[in-house]
Structure 1
Amino acid sequence: MPENREVHPVELVDAAGRGIGTCTVAEAHTLPGRHHRAYSVLLAGPDGVLLQRRAASKTRFPLRWSNTCCGHPAPNGDLAASAAQRLAEEMGVTGVELREVGEFDYRAEDAATNRVEDEHDHVLVGYVDGATPDPDPAEVGQWRWVSLPELRSAVEADPDSYTPWLPGVLRLAEPAVLKS
């Protein structure tokens, strides 16, 4: 049986991204939402960037295409280590050096699940050469490699097929990915 990640603690943050307390993942994502720390990972490789389509069982924005993986570091936890662990759990990809390229805030309500994202998101990028994901089907419905130009066009043409945080992730990650 999959682990219930909704009971894990997350770090609540103020408008400047400073820690101000904790609550559970479920509490943070229940309307009206609580502003909390999160991370988004985007992996690049010879075939572009690695996307995942979120599993149907996800409590927020299921069946939407998104960056390689997302998660929440434990309060006062190591961001890069947490992201690397989540990348291994969710996508089955290990041994990738991740580096943070920026932070942004976003808020998005999911009318389909009556949940909300209200996150201070740290964006991390990594480069893999020839890695084949082995995702957890409880987390990931599909995955694919896509070029950045193709992805930008697709998000613009059909934004509702993608998670609402993906444009912010791409804005911060793209300059680093293009240098890879």
Structure 2
Amino acid sequence: MLSSARSIQEIRERLRVELVDTRGRAIGDTTVHEAHFGDAGLLHRAFSVLLVNERDEVLLQRRAATKRRFPGLWSNTCCGHPGPGEALVDAARARLTDELGIRVATLEVGGAFVYRAADPGSGYVEHEYDHVLVGEFDGEPPDIDPAEVSEVAWRPLDEILRELDGAGATAFTPWFGQVVRATRELRGVGS
């Protein structure tokens, strides 16, 4: 099982991502691995999806231990990279289906932000122009990919925001705080 998860990660590292400038304009492309390798990382387009249920809870995932960057940390429902020229929402929907078996009709764009975060455990760097996408979903994910996700949980957003402002922040990925704050502003969840 562990070797098949690593094989999947190796394949995903060879996928192409879109390099962008600080305004989000495409300037080229490279592999996922090259975008995250080195001291600075290369600025590239990414997305972070956060799903909300009818009780105003958000669906979190704990990243699998086999993930190259920030394994074992809690984060938004899913995240990924659109391929060069790929529509953002189409890429996000595909990733939701691949990682969790979830299909959603609508994803709202909640803004974008640029961040840089070095993973001290792996030496890889996230340097992303990250688009926040928010959707609605109720229930449990029907098909979790163990190469990507070790567990999921529905949590109230206001509770998460308190944790992010305190000692519990280290349990989450570095970009997650900006994703939940953008979600709160877009949807009025947890306010």
SS at match of 2:33: helix
Deviating 4+ runs (over 4 angstroms): none
- The answer to whether residue 36 in structure 2 is matched with residue 29 in structure 1 is yes
- 1:53 and 1:123 mapped to 2: Cα distance? 18
| Deviates further, 51-60 or 3-12 | 3-12
Offset of residue 101 of structure 1: 1.1
SS class of match (2:160): helix
* Residue 65 (structure 2) aligns with: 56
Judged with a 3 Å threshold, the aligned counterparts in structure 2 of structure 1 residues 166 and 147 are, in CA distance, closer, same or farther, namely same
How far apart are the structure 1 equivalents of 2:112 and 2:118?
Answer: 20
Distance in 2 (CA, whole Å) between partners of 1:166 and 1:62 is: 14
Secondary structure at the counterpart of residue 126 of structure 1: strand
Q: Would you say how many aligned residue pairs link Structure 1 and Structure 2? A: 179
Distance in 2, matches of 1:98 and 1:133, equals 19
Structure 1: 5+ residue runs without aligned partners? none
TM-score w.r.t. the length of structure 2 is 0.89
Q: Deviations over 1:50-78 (max 9, x none)?
A: 00000000000000000000000010111
TM-score, length of structure 1 as denominator length: 0.95
Q: CA deviation at 1:82?
A: 0.5
1:92 Cα deviation (Å)?
Answer: 1.2
Q: Cα RMSD over matched residues?
A: 1.3
Question: Do the aligned partners of 1:93 and 1:133 also contact (CA within 8 Å) in 2?
Answer: yes
Separation in 1 of the partners of 2:105 and 2:145?
Answer: 18
Cα distance in structure 2, aligned partners of 1:143 and 1:155: 18
Which one of 35, 38, 56 corresponds to residue 46 of structure 2?
Answer: 38
2: CA distance, partners of 1:137 / 1:50: 16
> What is aligned with 1:86?
95
